[in-house]
Chains A and B, each alone.
Chain A
């Protein structure tokens, strides 16, 4: 199976309110996003709350457009555009946070979306744990992920954390192991 099929198949196995870390190489990154956003979320009619600290939200949306991925159900919590001086007017589709270090505001923006758009279940993507770890120490990151994952369970939402293989460390792996139900290698299919 290809990467997209692997990831979709894995996600299909999960009960809602699950948390999964998906490890991927840069080469398969967009296949993973396609699996989550285009296939799985569409099939299950889920809202996607996309927390980005890697690529500005407008760029991701443009890339989705180029790849033919429907992003109409995607709401971005963008922690990077302010730093890049690319943040434009905030609205529910694009919620900007000044810096990836303002972890509490990530939780609050996700809660805001979960409360406001509660007519469907949601899937939260954290992209990526590696870029978040550039700005935050392991202790506060673990605490943040633990609270976020736990609170999302109460919203019955899926949580997917993207971890880039090229940037993974033992510390990040241990942290994901501690906070997620599963760690899944998108390329190996295991």
Chain B
């Protein structure tokens, strides 16, 4: 039976939309989490490009990487059209510039600073009519917050405001390969509407990139582990074959 209780935000990644029974429920704030090199940024960018191609204004807020470098990497993708950037359908924002503009060039944020940052992001989303947002990474922002309460306040406040505007948001979370749980601070995973875990799986000396939807509010979904490949036509996903495997996040 079709799961049509919530409007969907199609990721445009065929395998993932199948796993999610049609896409991410619109307005959800989801966590894409995993260690480095697992494809988090690539998949998030593809989500935005497909959105922009479908006419949804999409925004990428980069905390650690220069937008120019990201765009340079995207040129290798056949589905990417630089015109999307020229037409402002796809917008890149360097968070460091926002910090400067807001006077937040400090190592630790107060609760007031957190609220100023959230209001600024919400303002940009509202003014530009953004329907898809990626923040890469939420871990880098949370690094400046001094307590779990502040992290909780930040994600809850941001998630609620964005959801009210119908903006579907991906928060990228960086994990150490040895980490337990699904996020660096343990708070992000509890608040997010969805968690997509990306990892590396070792099987007899081979290292496979994997993806698994741990939770997704508002839809039924597969919870199985899949293997993914990052190709010039986008992320492709295949079922993980059963066999003796050792996790190596």
Which of B208, B238, B240 gathers the greatest number of chain A CB atoms within 10 Å? Answer: B238
B204 within 8 A of A: yes
Contact flag A104-B231 (CB < 8 Å), given A111-B238, A140-B241, A147-B239? no
Q: Let me know if A155 is at the binding interface, CB within 8 A.
A: no
List of A residues within 8 angstroms of B205 by Cβ: 99
Give the residues in chain A near B240, CB-CB below 8 Å.
104
Taking a contact as CB atoms under 8 Å apart, the answer to whether A104 and B239 are in contact is yes
Q: Which of B203, B206, B233, B239 is close to A112, meaning CB atoms less than 8 Å apart?
A: B233
B residues near A98, Cβ cutoff 8 Å: 206
| Inter-chain contact A108/B203, CB cutoff 8 Å | no
State whether A102 touches B208 (Cβ < 8 A).
Answer: yes
Does any Cβ of B come within 8 Å of A85's Cβ? no
A5 within 8 A of B: no
Q: Knowing A98-B206, A112-B231 are in contact, say whether A140-B243 is a contact too (CB < 8 A).
A: yes
B69 at the interface (CB under 8 A from A): no
**Chain A residues touching B, range:** 20 to 34
Taken together as a complex, chains A and B put the C-alpha atoms of A62 and B233 apart, in Å, by: 29
B236: CB under 8 A from chain A? Answer: yes
Bound CA–CA A143/B239 (angstroms): 10
Question: Chain B residues near A94 (CB, 8 Å)?
Answer: none
Whether the pair B227, A104 counts as a contact (CB closer than 8 A) is yes
- Judge if A43 is at the interface, Cβ distance under 8 Å: no
Can you name the residue of chain A whose Cβ is closest to the Cβ of B78? A116
Determine if B236 and A99 form an interchain contact, defined as CB atoms under 8 angstroms apart: no
**Nearest opposing residue in chain B for A142, CB measure:** B241
- Whether, in the assembled complex, B242 has its beta carbon less than 8 Å from a beta carbon of chain A, the answer is yes
Residue B229 CB within 8 A of the other chain: yes
Which residues of chain B come closer than 8 Å to A115, judged between CB atoms?
Answer: 233, 236
Tell me, in angstroms, the Cα distance from A102 to B208 when the chains sit together. 8
By a CB distance below 8 angstroms, the chain A residues around B229 are 105, 108-109, 112
Q: How far is the CA of A167 from the CA of B113 in the complex (A)?
A: 70
Give min CB distance, A108 to chain B, whole Å.
Answer: 4
Residues of B within 8 A of A (CB): 203-206, 208, 227-229, 231, 233, 236-243
Cβ A108 vs Cβ B241 within 8 A? no
Asked whether A104 lies within 8 Å of B236 as measured between CB atoms, the reply is no
List, in ascending order, chain B residues with CB within 8 A of A104's CB.
208, 227, 238-241
Beta-carbon contacts of A76-108 to B below 8 Å, as 1s and 0s?
000000000000000000000011011111011
Task: Name which residue of chain B comes closest to A141, CB basis.
Answer: B241
Whether the Cβ atoms of B231 and A102 lie closer than 8 Å is: no
Q: Measured between alpha carbons, how far is A92 from B240 in the docked complex, in Å?
A: 24
Nearest B residue to A143 via CB reads B241
A104 to B241: give the CA distance in the assembly, Å. 7
| Top 3 A-B pairs, shortest CB-CB distance | A104-B227, A108-B229, A107-B238
> Which of B204, B233, B238, B242 makes the CB contact (< 8 A) with A101?
B204
A144 & B241 in contact (Cβ 8 Å cutoff): yes
**Beyond A112-B233, A112-B236, A116-B233, is A105–B227 a contact (Cβ under 8 Å)?**
yes
B125 CB, nearest partner CB in chain A, Å? 33
Roughly how many angstroms separate A103 CA and B201 CA in the complex, as a whole number? 14
Interface residues of A in 105-147 (CB under 8 A from B): 105, 107-109, 111-112, 115-116, 137, 139-140, 143-144, 147
Given contacts A99-B206, A101-B203, A101-B204, contact A140 B238 (CB under 8 A): no
Q: How far is the CA of A99 from the CA of B227 in the complex (A)?
A: 15
* Cα-based distance from A101 to B243 in the complex (angstroms): 11
Q: A99-B206, A101-B203 are in contact. Are A108 and B242 (CB under 8 A)?
A: no
Expressed in whole angstroms, the Cα–Cα distance for A101 and B203 within the complex equals 9
List the A side residues contacting B231 at CB < 8 Å: 108, 112
B237 contact set on A, CB distance < 8 A: 108
A102 x B238 contact (CB < 8 A): no
